[in-house]
Amino acid sequence: MSIKDRKLKVGTKLVAQYKRTEHQATVVKGEGDKVRYRLANGKEFSSPSAAGSEVMGGVACNGWRFWSVKGSEEAKAEKAKSESKGKAKSKAKAKAKTTAASKSKPKGKPKPKSDSKVKAKKAKTAKKAKATKDTDSGGGASPVKFD
């Protein structure tokens, strides 16, 4: 989706797909030998980049890559590609929703832990505490006995 020959003739129609919408511009005669790019809303710009930026809400863009010459094989291929992407995204969203719904936890009270799990956790905690106590020298010198 780009314009290869930058010497566009007056009257050439340009198209672009942006946010699932087809936008059009026309190459019109400007001052002297210059050309301008007129959008469907009537606004004119001195470059395809400025026209593309207007379509994109002020975001900078490379107009030579943004626009395609209407009727060119490239423009037709890009339109088909854009349409198939939209369908694929819709299918992916629908699949994600059903997958998320099937993975969600049931509502209600949480299931209580079994006695054996609680006992095992207590034993593990006690074992860790004892190991720490046995290896800890109290943070200083060894106790001295006086007789």
Is there a domain that residue 110 lies in?
no
Is there a domain that residue 25 lies in?
yes
Give the residues of the chain that fall short of pLDDT 50.
Answer: none
Per residue in 60-98, pLDDT tens? 999 999 999 888 765 555 555 555 565 555 566 666 665
Whether the CB-CB separation of 6 and 70 falls below 8 Å is answered with no
Q: What is the pLDDT of residue 60?
A: 93
Is there a domain that residue 50 lies in?
yes
Q: What is the pLDDT of residue 13?
A: 95
Q: What is the pLDDT of residue 125?
A: 82
0.85 exceeded by pTM: no
Is there a domain that residue 24 lies in?
yes
Is there a domain that residue 28 lies in?
yes
- Our measurement of the distance from residue 141's CA atom to the centroid of its chain's CA atoms, rounded to an integer in Å, reads 60
- Count of structural domains, the chain: 1
Structure tokens at 85: 């992407």
For residue 62, give its domain range: 13-71
Is there a domain that residue 135 lies in?
no
Is there a domain that residue 20 lies in?
yes
